[in-house]
């Protein structure tokens, strides 16, 4: 039995209820880093408003690190998702 979704993806190789766990974990990690980046951006903004530019710069650097990690995990998730098709 071949199952084809409207997007044209063939999931015949997967058993009913089977999940692409590796891709799911990579997506989850990417989401966590995106959330942490957003929090760091917000903290940086708040410190800039208060005139604490040293703290703002530190939070901006942390936001950049989280954004970079999020991109890595997003790319990894995409690769793992594509490999399961």
Report domain extents, the chain: 21-83
Residues contacting 69, CB < 8 A, separation 6+: 29, 33
Residue 33 has pLDDT above 50, yes or no: yes
Q: Against a cut of 0.85, is the pTM above it?
A: no
CA angle (73, 77, 83) in 5-degree steps: 145
From CA 63, how far away is CA 49, in angstroms rounded?
17
Task: Give the C-alpha separation, 6 to 65, whole Å.
Answer: 37
List, for residues 41-68, the tens digit of each pLDDT value. 999 999 999 999 999 999 999 999 999 9
């Amino acid at each position: 039995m071949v199952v084809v979704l409207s997007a044209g993806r063939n999931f015949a190789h997967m058993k009913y209820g089977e999940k692409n766990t590796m891709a799911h974990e990579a997506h989850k990690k990417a989401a966590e880093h995106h959330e942490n980046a957003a929090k760091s951006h917000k903290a940086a903004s708040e410190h800039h408003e208060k005139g604490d530019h040293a703290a703002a710069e530190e939070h901006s650097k942390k936001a950049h690190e989280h954004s970079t990690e999020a991109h890595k995990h997003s790319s990894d998730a995409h690769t793992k998702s594509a490999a399961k098709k």
